[in-house]
Amino acid sequence: MFFSRRIEHCQVCGTRVEYRIPADDNRERAVCPACQHIHYVNPLNVVGTLPIWEDKVLLCKRNIEPRKGLWTLPAGFMELGETTEEGAVRETDEEAGARIQVLGLYSVLNVVTAGQVHFFYRAKLLDTDFNPGPETMEARLFTQAEIPWDELAFRTVRMTLQNYFDDRREGQFGIHCADIR
């Protein structure tokens, strides 16, 4: 299945767009017949962290759709004007009210069907004083045995957690990349 965010009207002049392959291109695009503006729809970046405190990881219980009431790592859409790391730190603060030290990029997951790329950074929690924002019902630390595996919101979160616990057991952390179709 291929994901598509369909454009109906030109973002420049408002005319109804036509879908065709522009000259010197190789795929169908939304093209405005009035002003000739070509609209490119590209994947969205989701940025977040894998916050660690001793032998525990921080998860947030979602207070918004999609997947309201399920657990996730603190993450959200990257904003213009920030790096992936800056966005991950911002999302961790917004969703969990957690202070962190970023330890490095940990996973890059292409979610092709959703038109997204998820970036998770491994991070060290600086304290355990959490102040969740409105998008989070609860922010809580879990040991590996306590993780609510059947209540995780997204496959990217499950994969990142599984890789983390495998790497921790092996005593070394790398960068994990995968495609989810």
- Domain ranges, ordered by start, for the chain: 1-41, 44-180
- Condensed to tens digits (0 to 9), the pLDDT of residues 10-28 reads 999 999 999 999 999 999 9
Give the class (CATH, top level) of 1-41.
mainly beta
- Condensed to tens digits (0 to 9), the pLDDT of residues 144-166 reads 999 999 999 999 999 999 999 99
As a CATH number, domain 44-180 is: 3.90.79.10
What's the pTM value of the predicted model, to 2 decimals? 0.91
- Condensed to tens digits (0 to 9), the pLDDT of residues 116-131 reads 999 999 999 999 999 9
Contact 61, 140 (CB under 8 A): yes
Mean pLDDT (whole number) for 75-85? 98
